[in-house]
Amino acid sequence: MIDLMQKIVSFTKRRGFIFPSSEIYGGFGSCYDFGSLGVEMKNNIKRAWWDEMIKKHDDIVGLDSSILMSPKVWEASGHLTAGFADELVECKKCHHRFRKDFLKKGKCPDCGGELTKARKFNLMMKTFVGPVENEAAVTYLRAETCQGIYLNFKNVLQSMRKKIPFGIAQIGKAFRNEINPRNFVYRTREFEQMEMQWFCQPKEAPKIFNYWKKERINWYLNLGIKKSNLRAREVSKDELAHYAKRAVDIEYKFPFGWKEIEGIHNRGDWDLSNHSKHSGEDLKYEGYFPHIIETSVGVDRSLFAFLCDAYTEIRGGRTKTTKAAKEVEILLNLNKSLAPIKVAVLPLVKNKPKLVKKAKDVYQMLKPQFRCQYDEVSSIGRRYRRQDEIGTIFTLTVDFESLEQNDLTIRDRDTMEQERVKIEDLIKILKKKLNEQ
């Protein structure tokens, strides 16, 4: 399974999904850059989540709040107190630090040295605002996006003329000074969250919690995650975050085991009552603090789960007709809406100018409509496999018949079946197949 992890790490780099940050300087502590295909896939995930929240549900509206906020926010939220800290031990010999809950034995995993007693280590990333770097100028990069939602609760309520219950959705970067970032993009210090906060009457909260738990599980299943790789785990009382009354983790079976990809939290009135107390602003609605049900998922972490789920190796290849097909073939069978490239256009051969011109014309026609690639390099079989590897849904081939008939073949990534269609009908047919009509 670890082997699979290494394969995915090298595959994502080779094919332009994910690169280590600052690589020419030897890398930089668990930060990653998303390549041309990675950013397309990330945008597709964000769009799928945003549509699910805003288009599918009544009474959810969007927000894009700032990353930097008053440091008082983090006092009120509990993040600056012991609530948002990991227990850390240090090796007395090599001085490396480890999260206590990650250690199996009571010795340093690097040098076997003796460890200090555990100390709390706060995860907030500190920075300064303005030209003077003193205590008064300290603030923090947000550790969760939802705090910006609570601060704007009244603004949104009034400006959007909402009534309880309603929700606010937000996508944005969050930062945590993780002690043990690990497992590729699973746990990093800079990541993106998609969070929705549902404000409701206290007595409605338990029912709404169950509703969102079901909705969120279905979102992954509808986007193609295999049922056997997904589960919901009730978080035990002693594991609950400082703000949570109840939590369910949606977990994915990664190559390194079952791990959380999303949290559903009943935050009670923790946030609005604490922000009321600390700011002096009355954040009650009709005399009470609304309770909050939160759904919170990492973009990077869910992208990793979607990639792991779609990554398939086929020993000996799927087609038995060409020599190259004897190698291990990779198929990335991503859901249509998540695949970074929807359509590739290939001339059958590249040394026939008429064929190349026709294929390029088709590519230019499709480019404004779909994420497309044009590829004329190497044999047609190899080019099909290159597209299968990055999850391209349809590969179109312009051949000699195309010059006579003004048509081409559409090859389906999953079935490999080919169908001849007229070029004038192409956009309509592709839209229908991609459910974009």
Q: Binding residues for ligand GAP, per CB under 6 A? A: 144, 146, 176, 178, 187-188, 191, 193, 195, 260-263, 294, 296-298, 300-301
Nearer to ligand GAP, 244 or 359 (CB): 244
Smallest gap, in angstroms, from Cβ of residue 387 to ligand GAP? 30
- Residue 360 makes CB contacts below 8 A (sequence gap 6+) with 345, 374
Residue 145 or 387 with smaller CB distance to ligand GAP: 145
Min separation Cβ 78 and ligand GAP, Å: 12
Radius of gyration of the CA atoms of the chain, in A: 25
**Considering the complex, what minimum distance in angstroms separates the CB of residue 420 from ligand GAP?**
44
Q: Which is nearer to ligand GAP, 30 or 397 (CB)?
A: 30
User: In the numeric block, which tokens belong to residue 411?
Assistant: 């090859």
Which amino acid, residue 356? V
Q: Which residue is nearest to ligand GAP (CB)?
A: 298
CB of 143 to ligand GAP, least distance (A): 7
CB of 146 to ligand GAP, least distance (A): 4
Q: Distance from first CA to last CA of the chain, Å, rounded?
A: 40
DSSP 240-271: --TT-SEEEEEEEEETTEEEEEEEEEEEETHH
Angle, CA of 344, 347 and 349, to the nearest 5°: 135
Q: How many CB atoms lie within 10 A of CB 121?
A: 16
| Cβ atoms of residues 215 and 165 within 8 Å | no
Closest approach of ligand GAP to the CB of residue 105, in Å: 25
Which strands, in side-by-side order, build the sheet including 343-347?
372-374, 343-347, 394-398, 407-412, 418-422
Token pair 């192409």: residue: 426
Q: Please report, for residues 228, 382, 393, the alpha-carbon distance to residue 329 in angstroms, rounded to integers and kept in the order given.
A: 24, 10, 16
DSSP H helical segments within 311-379, as ranges? 353-366
C-beta of 108 vs 194, nearer to ligand GAP: 194
Nearest to ligand GAP of 42, 187 (CB atom): 187
Of 189 and 360, CB closest to ligand GAP: 189
